[in-house]
Amino acid sequence: MALVNCPSCNKRISSMAKECSYCKAKISSDNESLRVISHIKRSNQLMNQSFLALTLFIAGVVIWFWGGEPAEGLRANIAVGAFSLGFVGYLITRIQIVLHKRKKV
């Protein structure tokens, strides 16, 4: 728990307090903006995650059909691995995004 200066009377108060214990000034605005920033950061992180998963998914398809012939052996394993990892990763990320958007900022 950190101490901050009250914006109105400048006395030292807890950063967790919703209002100053001396002058009763509301100081929730700072916490609010921090919450909004972390919410946006998380959204960006999830978007990057879904983009990565989608790239992996496409890479799997490309590896599979590379050269016009169905993949065999190691190439098939790599293709299926990337394909399913990307697919599952993308689904999980989409669910996370939906849950995240439902959360109140």
**In terms of CB distance, is 3 or 9 closer to Zn ion?**
9
At closest approach, how far in Å is the CB of 36 from Zn ion? 24
Backbone φ and ψ of 56, nearest 5°? -60, -40
**In terms of CB distance, is 4 or 52 closer to Zn ion?**
4
DSSP label at 103? S
Contact call for residue 22 and Zn ion (CB under 5 A) = yes
Q: How far apart are CA 100 and CA 41, in angstroms?
A: 11
Figure out which of the listed residues 6, 53, 56, 82 binds Zn ion, where binding follows CB under 5 A.
6
Report CA-CA distances (Å) from 6 to 1, 26, 44: 15, 9, 32
Figure out which of the listed residues 3, 5, 16, 23 binds Zn ion, where binding follows CB under 5 A.
23
Residue 87 · residue 93 · CB < 8 Å? no
Give the interface with Zn ion as residue ranges (CB under 5 A): 6, 8-9, 20, 22-23, 25
